[in-house]
Structure 1
């Protein structure tokens, strides 16, 4: 199957995004420039539409008209067709029209300056005429004569001012129209750039949308292929898990996988379920529940928590009928949770054989007591313990009297019965802390911790008496009796080990046999064997 990446062309989303961002920034800049140019153009258009743009021609024309009217009234006053009052009103109207210098535009005041100066001269004369007419003794005819004498020159000057105002206004309007045309040209260029940028942005967005759609289709196809591969892989994993579960379930070993915190069991095989005495696999199981011995449980869990693994640790598992198993464990992670993986092998048979071998190695098969090797090992440890803690310690050497005669008269079976009976009688007299063993043949040894020579002699006398009172049926109607001789010795500072103490007790035993048997004697320094 071809991988999805082999069919998908290289895609650079970041490059697409960068190009789109640059186009958006360009269109935004063009939009800002268009708004600025539009505002600039509208402002210029509004300035052209204001009334004061025509104020200079109107003002000069009004002054010319009022001056002509005043001149006509002055002539009518001379002919008697108008009154002085009418003349005064006409002069006042002319004065009111002239007394508005702020109405004159900058071009009329500066280029050319003569019309403005002539208007100021007219204003001066008009103010004089108004002042003369306002006097109580005003001579209206004299004022009219003065007006008529000056009117022709003043009217000629006002006509020139009107022409200059109209010319100046025409020039200013033409200049403003040229500026407006230039601004409309700039606005058109900016709008054209905006339209071009918008068209390019739309094309880019459409192209990106098509590319994204194609990439989406390819991604969907890749996802479908991936889903198929995941499904196949999942099926294979499930088949592998099923096979592994079958193998582990039929395995002779014990296997369990359980979470550490919740104890939820992910897997437990049938072998371990049966060993735990359960009819069905448990839902929860903590590893501590499997281990029977508290000390072993503590060591096992400490090692597992510290090192994350335990290998081949022997432990008893199970509750009612625990059995020995060689356990190994690992601390692993399953579904995001820590879990214990435990597996083990049943070593109950091995342990039983080991116990038998240990028993054979340490126990005398005839009497059931410790053999010589085991007695010497444990006796040495007990002897060292008493010496280390400055406690008294004594030993008894016990030997059956005339044992060869018993074998000769009653047979070797009777001799074996005598050894077993002697071992049983000695064991019934001794304490639990005492150590008893068969050193060989008909000879026994007992180690009595925390006992002096006196207390050891008392115990030895009880042993001798108990054995002397026994009757053993060696054959029907033929009871058999026998006695023992016992030698006692107490631990002293000069004893380097238990062997020397046993040797002294053996000397006391030899002396007891030599002096008549069936007696108990203690070791006495200085007495030599005869």
Structure 2
């Protein structure tokens, strides 16, 4: 559609330009130059007639004396010979009948002839319209050219001398009517040719204006079609805009409803998380910004979002290395479950903390939740203590003694520190149970365990390893200090009241075997065996005494194997 409009507009512009060019060419000032030229020629011929109307004074009465005139060419128009004859007769009659005494002025005659020459023989520089009717009428142009030649001969004769003026005047009088008739005929032909030329141009212009009208009409029709199409598109756009507005209103309504639902869901989720027995917090992974934290979590860390706006995950833990390890595992695996830790803050309770790496609003965040396991840890510690403690004496049991003692022996052997072992046995314990009952025997065991804790150091490992047998592992203790400690134990127990019986206070004694850890890779079992041998010796020697086991000899060094050659 737009290409058609442009094509019609260009065609209409070209046709309009060409028409205006033709109109401008027809409106040139020299368009009717030939007609104006012929009118001036008629006027000048009238003036020439008036100039030569009276004969020269010298011609009256002296005609016989005048020389014979030179033959002058006469105009013989193709129209009528009788007209020329009648004109010559009338001219001669008027000449012969004129009896005026005044003569024709030669200068005036020469002037009239010169003007006619300028009209009939224009100079080369005079502008000419190539589209003028005179150019397109060769016969008329030829007659006017012959007339110009005749007038030019007369003018040349007058330029030669004024003596030829009477004869020239006579010839002019003889030819003036014919000249006038030729000028009238040329003017009539010019009028007819100009009318035909104007009619042809008018018809051509009418055809061109009709073409221009068709082009403009087509342009108008196309523009009307475009306006109709634009109007239809505008109506369509208006309907689309209305439909789009309706869709926007529906979308806004849905967005508002969805936003309200999200807000309500968020509020409900916050209420659920606040009422949850777990402690929940949502922290930014990069900046530690608190997105959400429930009341339980605030109570756990002893602060709130108003007091602190940023809280890094690793800062939650009381032990910084544990916090760093927890954060690295979360970044590596995206989730950490049931890590037992203590949070920094007023509370020193144990919690089981879990975390999930999630995306929130285009950024990573840490979803942290935990719950209190202090009671669980206390029960676990109690169970662990029960599993490692003798229920009757309150000392470590045999299993705990071997676990802890093995580590202590390994450490002492690695760093070459002295260590000694005491093995104790209650003398005649079966007799006490038989005579005073098991309750009294239990009281004796508890009393001896109390005395062991009193006499020995806190760093010493004391355990009940059998019914009436006890072991004490003394780190950083040589053989002689260990013997002295054992002797103090024997004396304290001998003097102590172990149990109250109906017969009175019950005293008792113990036997002790002492052994020192050697540097040759001795194990705890070997050390206990060495101490047990010393204890057996103490009992054999009469009980209520301390026997020190001599240091074990170094094991023999076997020579290196001799390589056997094949």
Q: TM-score range by the shorter chain?
A: 0.7 to 0.9
Work out whether 1:351 is the aligned partner of 2:356.
no
- Distance in 1 (CA, whole Å) between partners of 2:159 and 2:111 is 10
Aligned partner of 2:469 in structure 1 is 442
- Distance in 1 (CA, whole Å) between partners of 2:30 and 2:214 is 31
5 Å-filtered alignment, 1:318-333, equals: 318-333=344-359
**1:197 Cα deviation (Å)?**
2.8
Query: Structure 1 residues 36, 348: CA separation in 2 closer, same or farther (over 3 Å shift)?
Result: farther
**1:436 Cα deviation (Å)?**
5.9
5 Å-filtered alignment, 1:46-195, equals: 46-63=24-41, 65-66=43-44, 69-70=47-48, 73=51, 78=56, 81-97=103-119, 98-100=121-123, 101-106=126-131, 108=133, 111-117=136-142, 119=144, 130=155, 132-134=157-159, 139-141=164-166, 143-144=168-169, 158-159=183-184, 161-195=186-220
Aligned partner of 1:4 in structure 2 is none
Query: Structure 1 residues 338, 168: CA separation in 2 closer, same or farther (over 3 Å shift)?
Result: farther
Secondary structure class of the residue paired with 1:53: coil
The superposition leaves residues 179-232 of structure 1 with CA deviations (integer Å, 9 ceiling, x where unpaired) of 221222122223322332333333333333333333344444444444444444
The superposition leaves residues 390-419 of structure 1 with CA deviations (integer Å, 9 ceiling, x where unpaired) of 632554221225444598397431332212
**1:355 Cα deviation (Å)?**
1.6
- Distance in 2 (CA, whole Å) between partners of 1:232 and 1:195 is 54
- Distance in 2 (CA, whole Å) between partners of 1:303 and 1:77 is 147
Secondary structure class of the residue paired with 1:256: strand
The answer to whether the Cα contact below 8 Å between 2:456 and 2:485 also exists between their aligned partners in 1 is yes
Aligned partner of 2:442 in structure 1 is 412
- Distance in 2 (CA, whole Å) between partners of 1:424 and 1:129 is 179
- Distance in 2 (CA, whole Å) between partners of 1:84 and 1:370 is 176
Aligned partner of 2:229 in structure 1 is 204
- Distance in 2 (CA, whole Å) between partners of 1:76 and 1:504 is 192
Aligned partner of 1:360 in structure 2 is 386
**1:469 Cα deviation (Å)?**
5.6
**1:128 Cα deviation (Å)?**
5.5
The answer to whether the Cα contact below 8 Å between 1:310 and 1:329 also exists between their aligned partners in 2 is yes
Of the candidates 415, 432, 443, which is equivalent to residue 391 of structure 1? 415
Of the candidates 483, 486, 490, which is equivalent to residue 464 of structure 1? 486
The answer to whether the Cα contact below 8 Å between 1:311 and 1:329 also exists between their aligned partners in 2 is yes
Work out whether 1:340 is the aligned partner of 2:366.
yes
Q: Which blocks of at least 5 consecutive residues in structure 2 are unaligned?
A: 58-101, 556-566
Secondary structure class of the residue paired with 2:415: coil
Aligned partner of 2:99 in structure 1 is none
**1:488 Cα deviation (Å)?**
1.0
Work out whether 1:272 is the aligned partner of 2:297.
yes
The higher radius of gyration belongs to 2
Of the candidates 278, 284, 292, which is equivalent to residue 318 of structure 2? 292
- Distance in 1 (CA, whole Å) between partners of 2:168 and 2:550 is 183
Aligned partner of 2:498 in structure 1 is 474
- Distance in 1 (CA, whole Å) between partners of 2:452 and 2:172 is 180
Aligned partner of 2:424 in structure 1 is 400
**1:361 Cα deviation (Å)?**
2.8
The answer to whether the Cα contact below 8 Å between 1:395 and 1:445 also exists between their aligned partners in 2 is no
Aligned partner of 1:13 in structure 2 is none
**1:354 Cα deviation (Å)?**
1.5
Query: Structure 1 residues 383, 58: CA separation in 2 closer, same or farther (over 3 Å shift)?
Result: farther
Work out whether 1:518 is the aligned partner of 2:540.
no
Work out whether 1:487 is the aligned partner of 2:515.
yes
- Whichever structure has more helix as a proportion of its residues is 1
Aligned partner of 2:73 in structure 1 is none
Count of residues paired in the alignment = 492
**1:53 Cα deviation (Å)?**
2.2
- Distance in 2 (CA, whole Å) between partners of 1:361 and 1:261 is 45
- Distance in 2 (CA, whole Å) between partners of 1:95 and 1:28 is 58
- Distance in 2 (CA, whole Å) between partners of 1:386 and 1:131 is 164
Query: Structure 1 residues 36, 507: CA separation in 2 closer, same or farther (over 3 Å shift)?
Result: farther
Query: Structure 1 residues 93, 463: CA separation in 2 closer, same or farther (over 3 Å shift)?
Result: farther
The answer to whether the Cα contact below 8 Å between 2:513 and 2:532 also exists between their aligned partners in 1 is no
- Distance in 1 (CA, whole Å) between partners of 2:488 and 2:150 is 176
Query: Structure 1 residues 179, 500: CA separation in 2 closer, same or farther (over 3 Å shift)?
Result: farther
- Distance in 2 (CA, whole Å) between partners of 1:509 and 1:85 is 189
- Distance in 2 (CA, whole Å) between partners of 1:522 and 1:118 is 177
